[in-house]
């Protein structure tokens, strides 16, 4: 699998669109991403209950020359049903104002993803050019293996990418999953390089109002663990308490992982994209390995 340089690994995560930032600010972020050559936009039907896809669609409509340049990935939540699968994809396309989706993810594991009828319906969309490829998000190695086996049994197009949470504090990439992806040439895409803000250190005293930890309390159970807090402490100590360095090094660690093809950077402002670019230019692999060894 050909690895990309750190800057080329930056992709735009749009979970903030329509939820944390409005349409105008989302347009500013996408404008800046396009200027910087960040042309992979990741969204989902669940983001803002479709608002993220709708905003991206409006931006593409306002920038017709970008429709073919930007790669769009979206996701469908379980359960997966052959009866509604095509209709849900068509709803995504209407919101995106596009005739196809480059990469469509099964958003999370559910036994229904192994239903041959669902997978055959998904394959039909590939044959029709409505979806270019399918991926999986939040799957472990055993779950991905079971899906690949069903796809092979029915001679269907295999999973093209896996998208999992991965950062200095919490990682859903393990040796078995990475090995499986290499074996089957599955691209590795990661999200939440700052741990939903955890690695900035802004939640150590209290949960910041309006933040993702405030909006989605389940994040607290994931991140406020002994191991994660120790990772945060190592990062904070190395940065000497300088928050800008904390952010840069946390992003750099995610972007420099040798087995990762793309890193989704969620942005509420153009400054967040600049942070990611600065982090990609940071080049001290020994230091990053000391923060947390790459698997």
Quote the pLDDT of residue 246: 95
Quote the pLDDT of residue 3: 42
Would you say the C-alpha torsion 98, 156, 78, 133 has a positive or negative sign?
negative
Assigned domain for 48 exists: yes
Which CATH number goes with the domain that contains 160?
3.20.20.100
**pLDDT at residue 106 tops 50:** yes
Quote the pLDDT of residue 283: 86
**68-82 average pLDDT score:** 97
Quote the pLDDT of residue 207: 58
CA distances (Å), 259 to each of 96, 162, 180, 280, in order? 30, 12, 12, 15
Assigned domain for 61 exists: yes
Q: Are strands 103-106 and 262-266 parallel, antiparallel or unpaired?
A: unpaired
Assigned domain for 196 exists: yes
Quote the pLDDT of residue 210: 58
Q: Cα separation of 99 and 68, whole Å?
A: 11
Quote the pLDDT of residue 224: 85
Assigned domain for 35 exists: yes
Looking at residue 211, what DSSP letter applies? S
Assigned domain for 294 exists: no
33-65 burial, b for 16+ CB within 10 Å, e for fewer?
bbebebebbbbbbbbbebbbbbbbbbbbeeeee
Q: Cα separation of 166 and 195, whole Å?
A: 8
C-beta separation of 109 from 144 below 8 A: no
Predicted confidence (pLDDT) per residue in 18-69, tens digit: 999 999 999 999 999 999 999 999 999 999 999 999 999 999 999 999 999 9
Q: Cα separation of 20 and 52, whole Å?
A: 10
Assigned domain for 79 exists: yes
Assigned domain for 2 exists: no
Domain count, the chain: 1
Quote the pLDDT of residue 2: 39
**pLDDT at residue 214 tops 60:** no
Domain encompassing residue 225: 7-285
**pLDDT at residue 112 tops 70:** yes
Assigned domain for 291 exists: no
Quote the pLDDT of residue 222: 85
Quote the pLDDT of residue 287: 95
User: Strand pairing partners for 40?
Assistant: 71
Quote the pLDDT of residue 176: 98
Q: Cα separation of 43 and 63, whole Å?
A: 18
């Amino acid at each position: 699998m050909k690895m990309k340089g750190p800057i080329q690994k930056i992709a735009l995560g749009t979970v903030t669109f329509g939820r944390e930032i409005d349409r105008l600010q989302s347009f500013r972020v996408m404008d800046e991403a396009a200027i910087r050559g960040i042309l992979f936009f990741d969204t989902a039907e669940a983001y803002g209950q479709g608002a993220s896809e709708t905003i991206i669609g409006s931006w593409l409509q306002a920038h017709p020359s970008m429709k073919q340049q930007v790669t769009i990935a979206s996701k469908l939540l379980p359960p997966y049903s052959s009866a509604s699968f095509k209709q849900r994809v068509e709803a995504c396309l209407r919101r995106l104002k596009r005739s196809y989706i480059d990469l469509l993810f099964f958003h999370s594991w559910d036994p229904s993803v192994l239903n041959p009828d669902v997978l055959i319906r998904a394959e039909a969309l590939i044959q029709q050019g409505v979806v270019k490829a399918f991926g999986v998000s939040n799957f472990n190695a055993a779950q991905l293996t079971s899906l690949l086996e069903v796809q092979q049994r029915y001679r269907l197009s295999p999973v093209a990418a896996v998208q999992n949470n991965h950062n200095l504090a919490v990682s859903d990439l393990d040796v078995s999953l990475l090995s499986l992806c290499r074996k089957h040439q599955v691209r590795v895409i990661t999200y939440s390089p700052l741990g939903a803000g955890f690695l900035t250190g802004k939640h150590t005293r209290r949960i910041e109002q309006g933040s993702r930890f405030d909006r989605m309390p389940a994040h607290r159970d994931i991140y406020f663990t002994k191991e994660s807090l120790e990772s945060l402490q190592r990062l904070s100590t190395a940065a000497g308490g300088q928050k800008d360095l904390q952010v840069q090094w946390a992003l750099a660690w995610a972007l420099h992982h040798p087995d990762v093809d793309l890193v989704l950077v969620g942005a509420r402002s153009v400054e967040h994209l600049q942070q990611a670019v600065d982090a990609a230019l940071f080049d001290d692999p020994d230091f990053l390995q000391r923060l947390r060894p790459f698997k």
